[in-house]
Amino acid sequence: MNEHLKRVLSQKEVAERIGTSSSTVGRLVKAGKFLPPFSVTRGRVGWFIEDVDVWLDERKRATEEKRASANAEIEAA
């Protein structure tokens, strides 16, 4: 695949990639907890796959940091 071509995901594909429903993606966007989509064509929005993957990596890192903090608090008690 040409490295200059970026893969655009539909809301359904985003939902499948992050392991949730399409309606949950919409709710997360509306709440400001997920990346806003961009307009691909009139009536069609999408997300770059790379951006979705970065979001997933950030969520994973935040979860790992919370776990480490909770474990440190338990060990200190």
Query: In order of start, what are the domains of the chain with their CATH numbers?
Result: 8-76 (1.10.1660.10)
- Position 75 pLDDT exceeds 80: no
Question: What burial letters (b/e) apply to 30-60, b meaning 16+ CB within 10 Å?
Answer: eeeebbebeeeeeeeebbeeebbeebeeeee
Output the CA angle 20-52-12, nearest 5 degrees.
40
Question: Six-digit token pair at 35?
Answer: 């990346």
- Position 24 pLDDT exceeds 60: yes
The percentage of the chain sitting over the pLDDT mark of 90, rounded to a whole number, equals 75
12 pLDDT tier (thresholds 50, 70, 90): very high
What are 34-55's pLDDT values in tens digits? 999 999 999 999 999 999 999 9
Rounded Cα–Cα distance for residues 66 and 70 (Å): 6
Rounded Cα–Cα distance for residues 68 and 33 (Å): 23
